Amino acid sequence: MKNLSVDFLRSFVTIAQTGSYTLCAERLKRTQPAISLQIKKLEEVVGEKLFLREGNRLTLTLAGSKLLEFGMKILMLNDQAMAEFGKPQVSGNIKLGIPSEFSTTLMPKIIRRFTQTYPEVSLEVHCALSKDLVCEPLKSQFDLILSLQEDADPEQEGFIITDQLVWVGSQRYVNKVPNKLPLIAAPAPCIYRKRATNLLAKCKKQWQIVYTISDLNGIQAAINEDLGITVLARSTVPPGLFVLPPQAGLPDLGHIGVCLLNPQKVRSEAIELLAKDMIAQLAI
């Protein structure tokens, strides 16, 4: 029985996330030739080619896509086991800033797991618009900031993943939207609001902002009352809301990037463990 190396899988998953051997080597603090050799050996173990090169970016083959799903699960279980049996005595204070829409769906699970694993770490979480988090005066208050990129750029500092933007509404809007589109959105300069209104204007679709609120719970409540539709990252769509299909006739919203920044460049074991945990969970 052949065995998959966890180290090889970690390199493979990191390349799949960043699209680059160079960025993978930087993130894992290894040399690029060492990373290349790991991928070559991993391909020999599974008997399949895992990556194709398209221009300057690597893309997954069909076999690579299948292995990525297994690899993420294996790494997550490995890291959970090491955290459980390693009994790390980690302490400290961390101030974390996250975009409001991540505060309801993804982040609570990640934060709960981290605080259970490292009970001596004091974690303070602040939610705001991504644009506000990365600007003063908020920026200097945080040890880590989860932020959004208007244009997904794997070369940018702290890049984790790309996420698809989708139109979201109640069941009423799944198959048909009105001629004049009622929008529910966070206040400007929200990335989602800007993307939606620019694309609607470009395709000459009539629209109107009918409800402005930055809190995802408030947005969800407004949608449930059939006040209109909104734009969200696909990974943050809460249960009970519907992603509108292409036949709704709305423009494709494209993608955004998700980054994790250390604005003060402060290093501590607690900060590095939280960053590692967030990256692993968000990339699944």
CB atoms within 10 A of CB 108: 12
CA angle 125, 85, 94 (to 5 degrees): 15
> In this predicted model, what pLDDT tens digit does every residue of 151-204 receive, in sequence order?
888 888 889 889 999 999 998 888 788 889 999 998 888 899 999 999 999 999
224 Ramachandran zone, left/alpha/beta (phi>0; psi -120 to 50): alpha
Distance of CA 201 to the CA centre of its chain: 27
pLDDT over 90 at 109, yes or no: no
Cut 0.75: pTM above it: no
Burial class (CB in 10 A: 0-12, 13-18, 19+), 223: buried
Q: Which domains does the chain show, CATH number per domain?
A: 6-86 (1.10.10.10), 92-161+258-282 (3.40.190.10), 164-255 (3.40.190.10)
> In this predicted model, what pLDDT tens digit does every residue of 229-282 receive, in sequence order?
999 999 888 888 999 988 778 999 999 999 999 998 888 889 998 998 888 888
What is the C-alpha separation between 260 and 76, in angstroms, rounded? 18
